[in-house]
Amino acid sequence: MERIWAVDNEPSQRYPIYTRGNVGEVFPEAVAPLSWTLGAIPGAETGWRDALERFGAFDLDEFNPDEIECLGCFGGYAYLNVSISRILAIRTPGLTPELMDQSLFGTSEAPPYQPRPTDESPAHTGRINETIGWILTQEDLPELVDDQRMVDETVRNRPDFASMSNEAVVAHAKSHMQGFRHLFGRHLFITYCSTVPLGIIQGVCTELGDPTMAMRLVAGIGGVDSAAPSWALWDLARQVRASSAITAQFDQGVDGLLERLRADADGVKFCQAFDEFLEQFGSRGPNEWEMRAPTWGTRPELALGAIERMRHAGDDAAPQLHFDERAADRQALADEITPKLAGDPETQGQFVAALRAAGIFLAGRERSKTTVIKFVHESRLAFTEIGKRMVAAGVFDEVEDFGLLTAAEYDDFLTDPMSFRDTIRERATLYERLQGLEPPFIVNGVIPPLDEWKPRGSTPVPVAGAGDVLAGIPGCPGSYTGRARVVLSPDDPRDLDPGDVLVAPITDPAWTPLFVPAGAVVVDVGAQISHAVIVSRELGIPCVVSVLDGTRRIPDGATITVDGTAGTVTVH
């Protein structure tokens, strides 16, 4: 295979099918060599294998210790292995490869599952059954609280990078990332666990004749850490709305806003609250698994942009109101269904246990992810310090160029930084080229050469007209009709007015605050347990994901109806 990017690898021969589904949400752009070699290969790949073993689905010796298999990097883009997840489905009672594809990856063009003699394994199925029993009897997940405390302690003890030598800063960042495997493995294990109660609930609702009830039963569960920033941003937006002086500063635009507010007596209180927000949520942002990507902490304007949109919404858009509606509906529906199962006590017991477990593990999935993101941010801050120094020294053109080196290259780089300048610039040029290309959605053992990749957005797609219905995957139940606003970046949501339908290419924490003023959300990609789908259910916003090319097919400004229960978008 032609090696296009510095950290590309060969597809696994044993597990050859990969997808951009799901991972395209968290790595929408090409990956930086540092992120891949400091986090993905030594931590995410190994942590993924740990999670599969703990779940009971695989033995570690089913993976090649000398290859990366759960993940892949092809042409600079991150991929997830479909073949491995399908084997997990075969070995898990009640799951099928098709259900697993939809749950984890959303709409997929992957080739159909082809069984192999070693896929079915009664021994692994037995272990998974033990895990399922554990899942359905848990009352809480104290290990996630322990992880959270550990990371919070790390943040509190963060060294003063500005006073440290280059060597000390890099050594600290590398040492810190050794804990990534444990945290990522925990996150993936909880993610797999969360599919179990969802499957049980879906099965019961299907048997009762209405599979759409399943979404209503996992909405408004509470305690979802990924939704917390939206509540905090809403409170900040209310502060702006309540003050004519602060409103006047926001009216002048986000650029230079903090400086203006800090110089204004009325703005000081807001700035104090905003600083507290950044301290708590500064690790969140677009593409947050990527170390060179900006976050709310490194680029506060991103969070201020979300507040700018929220401040125009009326009090009836408060996330707590929508959450309360979803929570009440969930409880009422559960109370309605449970007595109907009285004739089958075993199914009734499983259903009740699954309802409890769904809340625990869906919230746990988001908590474990939040902990990992906060953990990674500490190394991002360390390397950002290196980036600033190298820009000042004329080695880097941009602070984020720190990500264009591999972890192993940093030893030689620190000895003679200027000798790497040409390499960094060559990679920056290729990186920019890769960002403009559309990676194959599915890889089946062979990577097309780069000259066969199409420019991003160049494939013709039909623009939807009046009466057209676009199909996707239900995200959050409910129906809403409003004006479509196609927003391609959370950095620039200025055209999104309260009540508009947010039509976005991806869903990650940088986008979820924009859900609050929106009447509904439509996303090009996503799956049933995408974190932003879980967040939309907490916020009570009708949502449809996996509407392929929705940002290109839905005309900006068109009136559309989003049916989050059926998973459709109708253009009027």
pLDDT-based confidence at residue 566 (cuts at 50, 70, 90): very high
Percent of the chain with pLDDT over 90: 78
- Over range 145-172, report the average pLDDT: 97
Q: Which residue has the higher pLDDT, 77 or 451?
A: 77
Per-residue pLDDT, 107: 62
Whole-number pLDDT of residue 27: 85
Q: How many whole angstroms separate alpha carbon 525 and alpha carbon 105?
A: 9
Report the alpha-carbon distance of residue 1 to residue 530 in Å, rounded: 32
Q: What is the mean pLDDT of residues 405-418?
A: 97
pLDDT attached to residue 161: 97
Instruction: Please give the Cα distance from 361 to 224 (Å, whole number).
Output: 10
- What is the model's pLDDT at position 525? 84
Token pair for 351: 């259903």
Instruction: Report the pLDDT value the prediction gives residue 532, as an integer from 0 to 100.
Output: 74
CA distances from 149 to 157, 293, 375, 381 (A): 12, 25, 11, 20
Query: How far apart are the C-alpha atoms of 107 and 120, rounded to whole Å?
Result: 25
Burial of 4 (C-beta count, 10 Å sphere; 0-12/13-18/19+): buried
Query: What is the mean pLDDT of the segment spanning 170-184?
Result: 97
- pLDDT band for 72, please (50, 70, 90 cuts): very high
Ordered by where they begin, the domains of the chain are 469-571 (3.50.30.10)
The answer, yes or no, to whether residue 119 has pLDDT greater than 80, is yes
Q: How confident is the model at residue 458 (pLDDT cuts 50, 70, 90)?
A: confident
Greater pLDDT, 563 or 25:
563
In the predicted model, is pLDDT for residue 245 greater than 80?
Answer: yes
Average confidence (pLDDT) over 444-457 = 90
Query: How is residue 89 written in tokens?
Result: 């489905």
Question: Residues near 486 by Cβ (< 8 Å), separated by ≥ 6?
Answer: 503, 551, 554, 556
pLDDT digit string (tens) for 39-54? Answer: 999 999 999 999 999 9
Dihedral sign, CA of 298, 301, 307, 310?
negative
Q: How far apart are CA 294 and CA 524, in angstroms?
A: 22
**Beta-strand relationship, 454-455 and 568-571:** unpaired
Average pLDDT value over all residues in the chain: 93
Query: Which pLDDT value is given to residue 509?
Result: 74
pLDDT of residue 528: 76
As a whole-number percent, the residues of the chain with pLDDT over 70 amount to 99
pLDDT tens profile 80-113: 999 999 999 999 988 888 888 877 776 667 899 9
